[in-house]
Structure 1
Amino acid sequence: MKGQLIIYILFFLSSLILQGQQEFPEGRALFPAVDSWHEIGIDPLHAEAMRAIDQPKGQPWQFAIPVKVSLNPDNSGFIIRSDNETVWILPVSSKGALSLNLILSPFRLPKGAYIYIYDPEKQVVRGAFTSESTAGTRSLPVLPVPGDRLVLECHFPGNVIPENSIGVSQVAHDFTGFFGPEGIKDYYYGRSDYCEVDLKCSTNQNYLMASRSVVRLIVAGSELCTGVLVNNTGNEYKAYVLTANHCIENDEQAENTIFTFNYKSPWCSGPDVSNMYALTGSLLRAENPDIDFTLVELTQFPSMVYKPYFSGWDITATPPTNTFSMHHPEGDVMKLTIDDNAPISTSYPVSGFLDLGFWRVLRWETGTTEPGSSGGPLFDQNGRLRGTLTGGGATCSDPTNDYFAKLSMMFNVTTVVSSHLRPWLDPAGTGATVAAGRDPYGYNLSRSDTLGGFPATVSGTTDAYSSPGWGFSTGNNSDGLMRYAEYIPFSGTGEIAWLRLRVAASSLLSATDSVRFYIWSGGSQPGPVIASRKLKLGEIKSGQVLEIDFGRNIKVTAPFYAGYSVYYRTPPDQPHPQFAVMHSSPWPT
């Protein structure tokens, strides 16, 4: 008999982990039958007219029409009661919408209450949302679900729904297509123009590190922009995001913005992958329309699995030698834009802005910017932040004349605390003109252990079955094996950050084919599921070192199992595609 290891795990022992997540494992959804829908009633001609608009730069990229409503358990939907809970069901419809999203307000859930939101086909299920999903804010914006119908399912313990605990204040009707044709994930890959370049097409370490600071903004359920995490001189654990003022102008928009981290393709030139790294809500700290900036502080600090990086900055008057930007044009996965030359100091060519308050990029050598890129960072040759995008005329056919608000002017434009950056990014008043970037979890990573499996430096092997058998020893095969688990004999207290596997083969028969990764409790065989995550096989490539997290660090105090289960809609046979992972060389047991 032979033994082999297929998984290696990045594991943290007695480390301080700050969690930041929206969705929690809580209760279960009922998915009741629905025969009546609350219709929002967007005029199809209005949606078509919005779709036909060529949206300019210098403003957020609008993907949905917001509709203000006032829906609550007293006036909408229906109630399901049981012995121990009361459930409010609100079915919502907006004919012709490509997706729908909600802003929940009020959002004051009591302990034990939780919410799910999903489309009727249950392709996307958001939640559970609990009182922990916000940090004291009054509302909760929720990521879109596909199609023109959704169901809001609110569970309350006992037989009473507390007054003013839950309601819907806005429904947004998507007229551009937030999801792809399969309708199962955020599918903006490919929406931007032909000259845009995926980040993974570069190996420059400045680019790769800075990319971890770039976030996509979904503002008030209807608009898309870009922002950047920025460090402060005190290295305080404050998650500041800098963006354009024309993206976030007031407290309500700040509170109802969703911040998406690491939304980028793992490949050069696609494909896109599903993204689960989103935080909701922020507090407005400073804003100034004269220099077009807004600084917000996230109400939750991003978790380690978000891999945040807080960009350093430079507010000296010396122009950069060369620059680069990373941004989300038309909401697409992150794109890289490069100027090999120095920008010039200038004024924005529209009245109402501060004189000489902008960097003008004369011509991009790589890529361009587009609507949705607003608020995107301008980095210098050292990877330090120098400004944020206001607008300009650059396109793929003529990549010239983009304007970035100067970070240096944001520090010195006024002495009003709420209108400049210095009180927030230099809280001790050190007068620093240059600040280093910071990885808030670098210390934790230095204390991590790798458990099980084999290291990344070992390529591994895989065993194909001999005829008349077919398949692989670590994938689907003629023995009917579809699920694999590896026992991890752990003791003590720790947190699992990631599973890593080297993919030997990955291909699909249908768009729904997938693999789900698990952490199970230990014993003589895998016990209850502690955590799981599904990836579609279309998101995985042969030869890939696949890193899987579960949206949060997973605490364990005893032995556990890690593994995966393969799903094919149509069971494959010998001539059909396969999925398998590499394992270590067998050893006698």
Structure 2
Amino acid sequence: MGRTISVPNRGEIITMLHATKTVSAAFIIAASCLGVSASGDYNPSLDIVPMHEIAPLDLDWLTEDDRLRDEESLPYRFAQPHESFITPGNDGIWDRDDSGRLRWRMRISSKGAPHLNFGFEHYDMPASAEMMIESVDKWSIRGPFTADDAQEGELWTPMVMGDDLFITITCNDADRFQLEEGVILTKINVGYRGFQTPQSDRGTSEACNHDVECPLCDEWWNEIPAIAMYTINGSLVCSGSMINNTSNNEDPLFMTADHCGVRASNDQALVVYWNHQNSFCRTPGSSQSGGNGNGNYNQTTAGSQFLTTNSTYDCCLIRLNSSPQESYGITYAGWSRSNSNAGGRVIHHPQTAEKRCSSIDALYSNSQYWGVNYDEGRTDYGSSGSPLFNSNRQIIGMLCCGGSFCSNDSDDYYGKAFIGHWSGLAPYLDPQGTNQQSVDTLNPNNLNTGACCWLGNCYQVEEENCNNVDGDYQGLGTTCGSVDCANPDPTGACCTGTTCSISSQANCSGTYLGDDTDCSDDPCAPDPTGACCVGTTCVITTEAGCSGSYKGDDTTCSGSSCLADTDAFSGLAYSIVGQNLVDDAEPTWTVDVYAVLGDGCRLDAVAGDTSTTKMISTTSSFYQNQYGGNTSASINPALYSAFPDLRYDSFVTIGSLDQTGNNLADIGIDFNAFENGGAIDSSDGSWFITPDDAQGDSGEFSNESCESGNGVRIARLTVRDLSASVYVEALFQGKDASGITWQATGSMSIVNDNCNVLCEGDTNTDGIVNVSDLLAVIASWGDPYDVNDLLTVIANWNCGL
């Protein structure tokens, strides 16, 4: 289809070399400098180069470990990392090459490995130095790597085929000391699958998938070059996409999935592989389609800058340290913030294989994800992070998870990053703050021209030049190969976002306004937008695009614009459990914190957001029991008799005081500070239960005024220093008595104002002695309770009311 150049295989190259009667002097010189004769014979003198050898990998163990990793939806692993500390100052051998330059060499081997790659986490290469990495048989060569290849003081190399490689660095005499001190090989990643590994079960996608050269992707030629696969830390692989911004300025932004693991701590350990795709369409379902193709891994970019990530919507945005070479022909994919569900294609790299294309049978909204059921093609491990395009060829999500394979018809899920994490993406995708809802793919390789039909002939020119001769302009980016100027299609105004151009209807990638229409009077001006409430979720969209309640033009989502007035939640309350209930070096007091709810209402989640980050804090510190945990789901009541202080550990909850029948879960909260007595801070996390978990049902409790209240316990906290205070602030969600979802925010300052006297017989420590305590004694009869505890409950009946 003319979009890629077929690279001859090794046999074809050998045939061409034998057919060539002359060999250039440059080839002879290059070969001799690499220690190989012009005829390609191996030089035995290379055996003197010291070798760092890594034992063959345990493939049986890796196979089982990869199965477990797949069950946990971890990124696809293709290599096993090995720590090293190899430097030109302490290892290898020094001599001179044929030109007289200093040369350092080291040999790295791991028998049976199909490929290796390296991480130099300390890389200060002298300006005169060059490094080559090559297999012993000279078939696979990477380099030269120079000082210009440093990525924030690091260098991570692309994959090199072979299990026995040479690292060679040459430099000027004056730069030897800098080289000895400045270059340290710290990671040797030993491959075992992927990257066209010969084993039939490694490195290939399943046969049902379609190459991007197949008809299924014919109309997606503008988006295909944007998609790439990348490795992280030299051992994991995912897919991702270059992505456009509203400035159309070729900012090298690259988007992928959060779970692939790119972070600020490892963003330099990224190597992107471009245009790895088959040169022709292999028949889907054939054995050829299920095997290795003829794509190559020669087009790479290394290093990046971590920008933003979001685990809930499983998205990650980075900026590459350098733009891909112009010769790669890379494009920048468009995107949309729309909540519409018209699906187009998924373009991805399954298991490091050649780029594939899958079409969509059904696309539906599923909470923070787009659910996808495929028509043609599927995804596989390694496809994580690949983009989901809508029918307008704009990305609407990145692949998170799912169970789709050729062998089934299961669904995949793509995070709604452009809806749910727009606040994190906007500074980069909309740097001028235009509030655009979408942008189209930017193709800088064919930026200003289109096909122009004039006097029955076709010319590739700019629109203005076509109009100057009264030609029939077919649209920006069209080519003469796709236009029949003997019978040209009628043209009209085409709106691509807010940009108007003249195009035929077939070549309009946006909204076609009709034959013979023009771009006068700004017909593509955007419709006004405002706040749209879908349930309790607020998005900014047009009135026509709002699938819920439109609040009016120019309204915003600030505050709680979509939270319905509700009597379900009336604030927070607390109940002092007692003082000095634990064996601690300082005086302590223990308090239960409650969300106060209306009768019949329930609580399902407690969350922090960007405006509510300090969820629980104290002016002193929180007591933490070594046998406890951060949530009530970690409190084991079987340990109470041996460790009675465990009852008064500090933890968060919904309803329950221990793990008995407890379905509490949490996401996105870093409890590290809390575990050490500090605060709980979260701008994007929560603890929660499902709406059918009984522990979220409201019930009676005694509040700080010794009055009866109705609500759900959200925390038990034991605080050091009797004069200390506690502050609680959070976003709450649940259902009212009629089953309607409510959301509200609440906050409270708490001091040790103990109107509640700790009641003997209060076995469940809710501040009241009643039938609940009697049932607790009976339920745990013999361990730890006996007849004395029963009599204590009866003697103190109704204490706390």
Fold match by TM threshold 0.5: yes
Tell me, yes or no, if structure 1 residue 334 matches structure 2 residue 355. yes
- Cross-structure match for 2:440: 436
Counterpart Cα distance in 2 of 1:391 and 1:37: 45
Classify the secondary structure of the residue corresponding to 1:421. Answer: helix
- 1:108 counterpart (124, 135, 140): 124
TM-score by length of 1: 0.64
Q: Structure 1 residue 36: deviation in Å? A: 5.1
1:471-510 Cα offsets, whole Å, 9 max, x none, are xxxxxxxxxxxxxxxxxxxxxxxxxxxxxxxxxxxxxxxx
- Cross-structure match for 1:557: none
- Cross-structure match for 1:290: 312
Counterpart Cα distance in 1 of 2:266 and 2:201: 23
Counterpart Cα distance in 2 of 1:77 and 1:91: 8
Change (3 A) 1:100 1:444: farther
Change (3 A) 1:168 1:410: farther
Change (3 A) 1:180 1:50: closer
- Cross-structure match for 1:301: 323
Change (3 A) 1:302 1:146: closer
Change (3 A) 1:190 1:122: same
Counterpart Cα distance in 2 of 1:67 and 1:106: 16
- Cross-structure match for 2:380: 370
Counterpart Cα distance in 2 of 1:373 and 1:285: 22
Change (3 A) 1:217 1:379: same
Is this contact kept in 2: 1:188–1:332, CA < 8 A? no
Q: Structure 1 residue 180: deviation in Å? A: 4.5
Q: Structure 1 residue 199: deviation in Å? A: 1.3
- Cross-structure match for 1:133: 149
Tell me, yes or no, if structure 1 residue 358 matches structure 2 residue 375. no
Counterpart Cα distance in 1 of 2:399 and 2:138: 38
Is this contact kept in 2: 1:84–1:158, CA < 8 A? no
Tell me, yes or no, if structure 1 residue 249 matches structure 2 residue 271. no
Q: Structure 1 residue 188: deviation in Å? A: 10
Amino acid at match of 2:416: K
Is this contact kept in 1: 2:232–2:262, CA < 8 A? no
- 2:232 counterpart (209, 214, 219): 219
Is this contact kept in 2: 1:42–1:173, CA < 8 A? no
Counterpart Cα distance in 2 of 1:230 and 1:49: 38
1:165-189 Cα offsets, whole Å, 9 max, x none, are 212110011122534559xxxx999
Tell me, yes or no, if structure 1 residue 147 matches structure 2 residue 157. no
Tell me, yes or no, if structure 1 residue 167 matches structure 2 residue 150. no
Classify the secondary structure of the residue corresponding to 1:191. Answer: coil
Counterpart Cα distance in 2 of 1:101 and 1:40: 14
1:23-76 Cα offsets, whole Å, 9 max, x none, are xx998843361335433434643x331135435273211011011211101221
Change (3 A) 1:59 1:445: farther
Change (3 A) 1:93 1:358: same
Amino acid at match of 1:261: W
Tell me, yes or no, if structure 1 residue 325 matches structure 2 residue 346. yes
Counterpart Cα distance in 1 of 2:218 and 2:320: 26
For 1:436-585, what aligned pairs fall within 5 Å after superposition?
Answer: 436-443=440-447
- Cross-structure match for 1:401: 411
Is this contact kept in 2: 1:59–1:374, CA < 8 A? no
1:398-420 Cα offsets, whole Å, 9 max, x none, are 132200011323543xx5xxxx2
Amino acid at match of 1:345: S
Counterpart Cα distance in 2 of 1:37 and 1:108: 23
Higher deviation after alignment, 90-99 or 277-286: 90-99
Change (3 A) 1:39 1:295: same
Higher deviation after alignment, 226-235 or 72-81: 72-81
Change (3 A) 1:313 1:188: farther
Counterpart Cα distance in 2 of 1:290 and 1:75: 47
Amino acid at match of 1:324: R
Counterpart Cα distance in 2 of 1:169 and 1:445: 48
Is this contact kept in 1: 2:387–2:395, CA < 8 A? yes
- 1:56 counterpart (70, 75, 83): 70
Change (3 A) 1:62 1:189: closer
- 2:276 counterpart (239, 263, 266): 263
- Cross-structure match for 1:468: none
Counterpart Cα distance in 2 of 1:62 and 1:397: 22
Amino acid at match of 2:144: A
Amino acid at match of 1:216: M
Counterpart Cα distance in 2 of 1:188 and 1:161: 47
Structure 2: runs of 5 or more not aligned: 6-26, 36-44, 283-288, 452-457, 459-801
Classify the secondary structure of the residue corresponding to 1:423. Answer: helix
Higher deviation after alignment, 152-161 or 384-393: 152-161
- Cross-structure match for 1:548: none
Is this contact kept in 2: 1:225–1:247, CA < 8 A? yes
Q: Structure 1 residue 125: deviation in Å? A: 1.2
1:280-329 Cα offsets, whole Å, 9 max, x none, are 1111111122221111111111122111110111102222x223101011
Classify the secondary structure of the residue corresponding to 1:209. Answer: coil
Change (3 A) 1:234 1:138: same
Is this contact kept in 2: 1:63–1:177, CA < 8 A? yes
Is this contact kept in 2: 1:378–1:385, CA < 8 A? yes
Amino acid at match of 2:364: I
- Cross-structure match for 2:551: none
- Cross-structure match for 1:274: 296
Change (3 A) 1:190 1:258: closer
- Cross-structure match for 1:92: 108
Amino acid at match of 1:394: S
Is this contact kept in 2: 1:248–1:254, CA < 8 A? no
Counterpart Cα distance in 2 of 1:427 and 1:170: 37
Is this contact kept in 2: 1:345–1:358, CA < 8 A? yes
Counterpart Cα distance in 2 of 1:209 and 1:121: 39
- Cross-structure match for 1:497: none
Counterpart Cα distance in 1 of 2:300 and 2:307: 20
- Cross-structure match for 1:496: none
1:85-130 Cα offsets, whole Å, 9 max, x none, are 3221111122332211111232222222101000111111111111
Is this contact kept in 1: 2:228–2:239, CA < 8 A? yes
Higher helix share: 2
Is this contact kept in 1: 2:56–2:113, CA < 8 A? no
Amino acid at match of 2:381: P
Q: Structure 1 residue 260: deviation in Å? A: 0.9
Tell me, yes or no, if structure 1 residue 198 matches structure 2 residue 211. yes
Larger radius of gyration: 2
Tell me, yes or no, if structure 1 residue 67 matches structure 2 residue 82. yes
1:379-432 Cα offsets, whole Å, 9 max, x none, are 0111000000001011112132200011323543xx5xxxx2111101111111
Counterpart Cα distance in 1 of 2:324 and 2:132: 22
- Cross-structure match for 2:95: 80
Counterpart Cα distance in 2 of 1:167 and 1:73: 8
Is this contact kept in 2: 1:324–1:379, CA < 8 A? yes
